[in-house]
Amino acid sequence: MTPVTHLTAPRPSPVPPPAPDDVPVQGRRSAALATAFVRGGVAACLGIGALAVLVTAVWISSPYPDGGADSALHTSAGLWLLAHGADLIRTDTVSGVPAPLGVTPLLLCVLPMYLAHRAARDTLDPGDTRPVPSPAGAVAAVTGGYLLVAAVVVIYTEAGAFPADLVSAGCWTPVTVFTAACVGAWSAHGRPLPGRGTAADALGAAGHALAALLGAGGLLVVGALLWHVGAVQMSLGALAGEWSGRLAVTLLALVLLPNAVVWGVAYGLGPGFVLGTGALVGPFGPLGHTATPARPDFPLLAALPGPGPAGWAHWAAGAVPVLAGLALGRRAGRSAHDRPARHAALAALGAAGFCGVAVALLTALAGGPLGAGRLAAFGPVWWQTGPAAALWCAVLGVPTALVVRAWGRWSARRATAARAVAARVMAAPVPAPAGKPGVGKPEAGKRGAGKPDAEQRSVRTRSARAWDVRTWGVRDRGARAWGRLVRRGGPPGPPSAAPTPGARPAPLPVPAPSPVHGGASAGALARLDALEALDALEGLDDDTGEDGYGVMPAAWEPPKPG
């Protein structure tokens, strides 16, 4: 039998078409990754272009250039790869044997790393309406686009005077770009850091120690340049006679100045650095140099210490690791003021390890080969400088952290005790004036009426001194006042018994009013004695900056109700 379909029966509704916004989801993700890929390539091109403009300007200003514009472009491409950690090969040597060039100018690394960092950060910026890829996809796309341009540059340098070493270029360039892109993605998400813990405190303390090391190393380099300023000027004049050549040498010295700072850190830590095979320069050895150094003629190298016995100027470099250890311990101890001593010690040890790793990485980048033979080793040795930094920071940082933590806890206890005493003093009542008429108040109509008598002037003078007691530093008077308070009625309750919130603290015992001096003056003097006694407890509140005296009324003012 043929089934009959009623016209009034509800028909099955077809599947609704997808919304226009849901159709190209996969396509929008692909477009976002393609945009990130292009951003990486553009970042690489911007870095090459900036260096090409600089090198071309120096080439134009030179009166006797060694080559043409293509030579300048090849040199700029080689410098760009050198800024990423790749080694270059010098082919035009005197002996005809190719020599490696592996000293990375640290200041030159800032531009390419910043451009890669910015490309990844802008790709993940949620402020725009365009689709945003995942962080891993953005980092991978930016790195891929950047490395594509880098591969083209490596091939281009093969026809120049400074071709890139393929092994180092294939190893260090991806690592540099990937690290910068990861930092950019981290910045796009608000630079999240771990909460309060041992790792977070160790990272903070390591940052303080590294900053102290670099700052002290910079001061060491500046002092050496000023000490040997004559030799520096002679080296600059010997390298170039015209102003354009001196400008080029000065620019090269500027981009190598951060390398000199890292060399100063290595010198202060003790291992020093090598100037060729077998020539070690250090501050603590019997000789400044262990062998004849292979020192090229360059202004920064002219400021190095000469051979001979080490003197006080060399030993003064030992302050570099001391400052770093103290900075590390101070930061670790302050972050663990409310935690056990074990936390402070572990944070200091972790910070020492982090600082050693950072110093080892910086010294590995700041040195390298300058040629073949004796110049194959030039600069600090990373596997010596890194452990030395970690050892110095651990030996000095852990005791400093424990001492700073103990001092902070002791100061906090003193602050709590002083606030408790201050609350009791504030709660001390002042008796109403009682006694014979005319005592404590001048009679109207008499000479000198309306003027305070000697007793009231003494009260006001001592009150003013109590208000400014921290400025004048009257510690001895405060100690004597505390003794008088003990003899008269005994000190208040134990300082550790802090007043509970909402409850009025117990009043301070006040001597009975004297019929000779008047009740008001006697009560005011008692309160002033207690105020002066507070000077024996310094640092009422070191954390907030309050001293406790700013909230106390004058002795002649009546206490506020409630």
Label each residue of 371-400 as H, E or C.
CCHHHHCEEECHHHHHHHHHHHHHHHHHHH
Provide the pLDDT confidence category of residue 442 given band limits of 50, 70 and 90. very low
Closest CA to 358 of 240, 205, 239: 205
* pLDDT of amino acid 219: 94
* pLDDT of amino acid 14: 45
Of 196-210, 242-256, 466-480, 517-531, minimum mean pLDDT range: 466-480
Residue 62 has pLDDT above 50, yes or no: yes
Provide the pLDDT confidence category of residue 483 given band limits of 50, 70 and 90. low
* pLDDT of amino acid 467: 45
Residue 101 has pLDDT above 80, yes or no: yes
Residue 33 has pLDDT above 60, yes or no: yes
The order of strands in the sheet holding 273-275 is 280-281, 273-275, 378-380
* pLDDT of amino acid 137: 92
- Distance, in Å, from the CA atom of 98 to the CA atom of 276, rounded to the nearest integer, reads 18
Q: Where are the domains of the chain?
A: 27-189, 199-410
Average pLDDT over residues 28-57: 92
Provide the pLDDT confidence category of residue 25 given band limits of 50, 70 and 90. low
pLDDT tens-digit readout, 176-220: 999 999 999 999 888 887 766 788 899 999 999 999 999 999 999
Residue 269 has pLDDT above 90, yes or no: yes
pLDDT tens-digit readout, 306-340: 766 667 777 888 899 999 999 999 999 998 888 88
* pLDDT of amino acid 181: 95
70-74: Cβ within 8 A, 24+ apart: 70/160, 71/160, 71/161, 74/156, 74/157, 74/159, 74/160, 74/161, 74/162
Of 77-86, 155-164, 523-532, minimum mean pLDDT range: 523-532
* pLDDT of amino acid 495: 45
* pLDDT of amino acid 456: 52
- Distance, in Å, from the CA atom of 383 to the CA atom of 364, rounded to the nearest integer, reads 9
Residue 96 has pLDDT above 70, yes or no: yes
Of 263-272, 301-310, 321-330, minimum mean pLDDT range: 301-310
Question: In the numeric block, which tokens belong to residue 235?
Answer: 């080296």
pTM of this structure:
0.71
Provide the pLDDT confidence category of residue 441 given band limits of 50, 70 and 90. very low
What string of DSSP letters covers 110-138?
HHHHHHHHHHHHHHT-TTSSS----HHHH
Question: In the numeric block, which tokens belong to residue 545?
Answer: 């900056």
Average pLDDT over residues 148-172: 93
Residue 229 has pLDDT above 80, yes or no: yes
- Distance, in Å, from the CA atom of 539 to the CA atom of 36, rounded to the nearest integer, reads 56
Q: What is the mean pLDDT of the chain?
A: 77
Of 86-90, 412-416, 511-515, minimum mean pLDDT range: 511-515
Amino acid (one-letter) located at 264? G
The alpha-helical segments, DSSP class H, found in 519-562 are 519-533
* pLDDT of amino acid 510: 45
Of 60-64, 73-77, 546-550, minimum mean pLDDT range: 546-550
How far is CA 538 from each of CA 96, 403, 505, rounded to the nearest angstrom? 75, 19, 22
